[in-house]
């Protein structure tokens, strides 16, 4: 991790409260948010994309993340990271992409918050899989275990979910000191 910078990535299936948690945690811990680049990219394209767009999204996400981390004075909360793109590539296209995997390896070390799909599905023009959330969650957890990442699963509704996330972040920061 960049000296003195704590980095947290919030990952998990669609409609599991990642953006909300990211913003709430940044506020609570006086940190900064790295937004999800793909949301801006896909909105501009009315949700239409192809497999080769994932590389563009991954490169742009990494650049955005690196700029934000360099400028940050507190903890950094990433509202996604390249792991999300790798999982989506695997799930949607049934393929791996070595170039995206190399970008993943270039990310600065971080702790992960993996959101469990226990929230009500909220429709969104960019969301595609209301029925595959548990399967996607399992792919995330398997990937995090495979890379040996330090992660916590975030469950719960409303304030309980936020409290669980705050406790997870606090546990990470205590174990690092």
Residue 32: per-residue pLDDT: 97
Domains in the chain, CATH or no CATH each? 7-176 (3.40.50.300)
Q: Which residues of the chain have pLDDT under 50?
A: 1-2
Longest dimension (CA), the chain: 45
List phi, psi (to 5°) of 87: -65, -45
Residue 39: per-residue pLDDT: 84
Structure tokens at 146: 């495979």
Quote helix, strand, coil % in the chain, to nearest 5: 55, 10, 35
Specify the pTM. 0.91
């Amino acid at each position: 991790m960049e000296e003195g910078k704590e980095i947290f990535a919030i990952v998990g299936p669609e409609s599991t409260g990642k953006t909300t948690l990211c913003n709430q945690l940044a506020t609570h811990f006086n940190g900064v948010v790295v937004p999800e680049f793909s949301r801006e990219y896909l909105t501009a394209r009315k949700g239409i994309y192809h497999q080769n767009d994932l590389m563009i999204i991954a490169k742009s996400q990494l650049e955005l993340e690196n700029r934000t981390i360099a400028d940050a004075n507190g903890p950094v909360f990433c509202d996604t990271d390249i792991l999300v793109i790798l999982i989506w590539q695997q799930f949607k296209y049934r393929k791996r992409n070595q170039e995206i995997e190399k970008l993943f390896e270039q990310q600065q070390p971080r702790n992960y918050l993996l959101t469990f799909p226990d929230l009500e599905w909220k429709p969104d023009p960019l969301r595609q899989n209301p029925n595959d959330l548990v399967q996607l969650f399992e792919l995330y957890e398997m990937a995090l275990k495979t890379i040996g990442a330090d992660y916590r699963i975030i469950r719960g509704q409303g304030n309980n979910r936020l409290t669980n996330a705050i406790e997870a972040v606090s546990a990470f920061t205590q174990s690092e000191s």
